[in-house]
Each structure stands twice: as structure tokens, then as C-alpha cells.
Amino acid sequence: MTSVHNRTHHQVTYAVLAVAVAAFAMLQSMVVPVLPTLQSELGTSQTNVTWVLTAYLLSASIFTPIVGRLGDMYGKKRMLVIALAALATGSLLAALASALPVMIVARVVQGIAGGTLPLSFGIIRDEFPRAKVSGAIGLTAALLSVGSGFGIVLAGSIVDVLSYHWLFWIPLIITSLAGVAAWALIPESPIRTRGRINWLTAVLLSSWLVALLLAVSQSGSWGWGSTKVISLLVAATAVAGVWIIVEARSANPLIDMTMMRIRGVWAANLIALLMGFGIFASFGFIPQFLQSPTSSGYGFGATVTESGLMLLPNAVAMFAVGLFSSSLAARLGSKKLLVIGSLTAAASHFMMAFVHSSEMEIYLATGVSGIGFGLVFSAMANVVVASVTPQQTGVASGMNANIRTIGGSFGAACMASVVAIGASPTGLPVESGYTYGFAMLGGAAVLAAVAALFVPAVKGTADTGLIHAADAPHNELVVAPRGNSVD
């Protein structure tokens, strides 16, 4: 039982949340540069091994809003511990896997932890001093991308020195410790949302997300014009339409459609879609570009470890930007940070497209991308949280993370299609494929800067303050006295 006099210091709470978010993010990206290794070790095909990534994205897309909603209803700490337990269980299963089906099941279980980010945002909003909320949320959002970046950097070294099994043993250890620390140190939220889970809308949400992401992720092997892809896209559109109607009429919506119409929320979601389009494709294809043999005329013949190191400036820059995001937001405002960050990310993509003849140019481009992504993701998280009432923090930030994942799946699929156009006689992509692909990602980031112009100004920059009170939804909430146990 936690009382008002002995609640854990917010810095201790944040340390636990940071480890949890970083572990989840690393597992999201670690498999990307080592898919060829997993293909060989698991005795499967190049097409089938992509399910190691696809299964994780599908699962996370489904469970992120559901777990966020459950946290708002039953307690954010409780659901965070459950999410971390699922992540640890999935990691254990993956570490022991020697066949593709087992690995896919493990990745589905890991995806349950997709709710870690929205739960963390909600806990920060509940527990931190008001003046500290903005900076903590910004740094946590940046940690998601930082963790993904470091996951790619470390993956090659782990496989080279140990084995692919340690891609999961190490996160298992970290996640288990984070779960125990969360249970022991993080106080339970005093805020509750009355209601229940509408399982019909949950099934509809899951159905259209699965159809959409399955079509996008498999478009490279099936073909965009194939009957399967077109049928899945049509089904996704139809079911999404039904889902929106049912959610709008539901007394207990999983995603409040009124909330989704708030200008700060839909603008941030559009930015998330466009920036996700770029960051996932970057992490997936820059290593592939660097690992191409020098005989291709553009590649560096880098190893998995070497290509990961060339992405290190990205992760370092994102982390550094996250540290200063609060003071930058206080000085410039989140809206300006979104515009500046999006244009900076666009510049990095254009650099990769047209200036990539030396390793120094690659280091510079990845460093610039880290600055851009760090600014956008920290400011975007603050806009979402500031736009909604406390009891909607979990589901709103969860949906924003979800939309970024959807954008990432589209970006990776579109990048694969563009890069594959006009393969050389050796079977390798031609340089122009990468040029057009990275230029496409730059264009998406420019569109994100345009979308940022629709973000309303935040009242009170040193805090997450509400964005125009008239725009904020007003749902019923229950506040449990801090002096009583809410477990």
C-alpha cells in the first residue's frame, strides 16, 4: 500500500520506465539487420523469415490500444507489469526457439508489450510534478527511437560474438529486472476510467489492422497488384469503416472518436504516420545499402556490425535531443519543434539519396536524421498527451504509437518496391532504386512538416498544459485517494 507520504520519487519511477521502454524498442528492431542469419539458423526461406518482424508488428498494433485502455481502467502499474511479463515470456520462448513457427509465436507474445509506451506516458502524467511532465514525456518518446537505433547497432555484434539466441536472452534479463522493479517501486495510478472493454470494437480494430498490415508487409512477395493484396486492402477499408461507425455509437468505445477529432490528436497522428513511414524504412534499408558489395558501384561492403555502427550517430543524436526537448519546447513551442524536426529529417533522407559516396557522409546523414526524429517524436508525444484528459492518455498515446507502426509498415513496403525496380544483372538493386527510395522518404517528411502547421499552440510550454480547453474531451473519471491502496 502506497500513501501520499511515501510514494516513490518520480526520478526512480522514471528510471524503471526508461528501462522498460528501451527494452521493448530494442526487441522491435534487433531482428531487422539479422534476418538473413535467422533465415539460415531456422532453416526457412527469405519470404517466410519476414514473419519474424511482421508477427511482432501485427501483435503490437492490436494490443497497444487495448492494453492502454485496460491501464486507464484497471491501473497503469498493474498493466505495465503484465506487459513486461509478456515481453519476458516471449523473449524466453524466442531464445529457445529453433524453428520458425515457435519464433513467430514468441514474437506475437512479445507484441503484447506494445502497451508499454502509452502506459509509461500515463504514469508520468499521474506521478510527475507538472513542470517535469513535458520533459519526461519527450525523453521517453525519444527513447523509443533510441532503443530501436541501438538495437540495430548492437544486433550484429551480439550475433557475431555470441549467437542469435542472445538477441533475446539479453532483453529477457533486462525486462525481467524492469518488471520486478515496476512491481516494487512504481506507485499505482490514482486515476481510473469507468467502463468496460467493448470486445466487438476490439475485434473489428484487430481485424482491419491485421488485414492492412498483412497486405502491406507481404506486398513485396505477393505483388501490389495481386489478388491477395487487393482483397486484403479492400477488406481492411470496409472493416475500418464499420469499426468507426460502431465506435462512434458505442457507450464504451475502445477509441473515442470524439477524441480522435481533436485537432492536436489528429494532426499528431498524421505526423506519426508520415514520420513512421520514414524511420522504419531508414532502419531497414540503410544497413542493406551499406552491406551491398563495393562492386555494386555504391555499396560499402560493410558487415552487419559495421553497418550498425554507421547508424550509431542516429541513436546518439536522438538521445541527446530528448534530454533537451523540454527546454526547447519551453523556448520554441512543440509546434515549431515538429516543423523543424520534420524538415531536418527530410534533409537527412535527401542526403542519403544524393550524397552517399563516403562513410563520413553516411555518418553525417544518420546524425542529422537522429536530430530530426528526436525533435519530432518528443514534441509529438507532448502534443498528444496535452490534447486529452488524463484518463485518455493511455489510449490516445497508444493509438499514436500504433499509427506510427502502420506508417512504418507502409514505408518499408513502399521502399522495398522502389528499391527492387530495375535490378542489376547480378541481382542487386541499382543505385537509382535507393536514390528514388530515400527521396520518397524525404518527401514524406516534408509532408509531415506541412501537417505540423495544423497543430494548435499549447497553453503553457513548461507543462503539458491543455491545448485549448474547448477542444478537450470531458469523460468521467474516478480519482482514488493517494492515501489508499488502488491495487
3-state secondary structure of 1: coil
Q: Does residue 138 share a domain with residue 228?
A: no
Burial class (CB in 10 A: 0-12, 13-18, 19+), 183: middle
Residue 470 has a pLDDT of: 34
d(CA 407, CA 429): 24
Domain, as residue range, for 366: 10-197+254-472
Q: Does residue 317 share a domain with residue 262?
A: yes
Stronger pLDDT, 55 or 424, i.e. the higher one: 55
Q: Does residue 210 share a domain with residue 157?
A: no
What distances in angstroms separate CA 482 from CA 189, 203, 278, one per listed residue?
Answer: 8, 35, 42
Q: Does residue 309 share a domain with residue 227?
A: no
Total domains, the chain: 2
| Pair 154, 162: CB distance under 8 Å | no
- We report the CATH number of the domain holding residue 125 as 1.20.1250.20
Per the domain annotation, does 356 fall within a domain?
yes
What distances in angstroms separate CA 447 from CA 257, 267, 273, 378, 383, one per listed residue?
Answer: 24, 12, 10, 18, 18
Express each pLDDT in 11-34 by its tens digit. 888 888 888 888 888 887 788 778
Least confident among 189-193, 337-341, 385-389: 189-193
Residue 475 has a pLDDT of: 38
Judge whether residue 70 has pLDDT over 90.
Answer: no
Per the domain annotation, does 482 fall within a domain?
no
What distance lies between CA 285 and its chain's CA centroid?
17
Percent of the residues in the chain that have a pLDDT greater than 70, as a whole number: 88
Backbone phi, then psi, for 478, in 5-degree steps? -115, 130
Express each pLDDT in 194-220 by its tens digit. 667 778 888 898 888 888 878 877 776
Q: Does residue 304 share a domain with residue 159?
A: yes
Q: Does residue 171 share a domain with residue 126?
A: yes
d(CA 338, CA 260): 19
Q: Does residue 400 share a domain with residue 356?
A: yes
Of 64, 39, 71, 9, which is closest to residue 486 (Cα–Cα)? 71
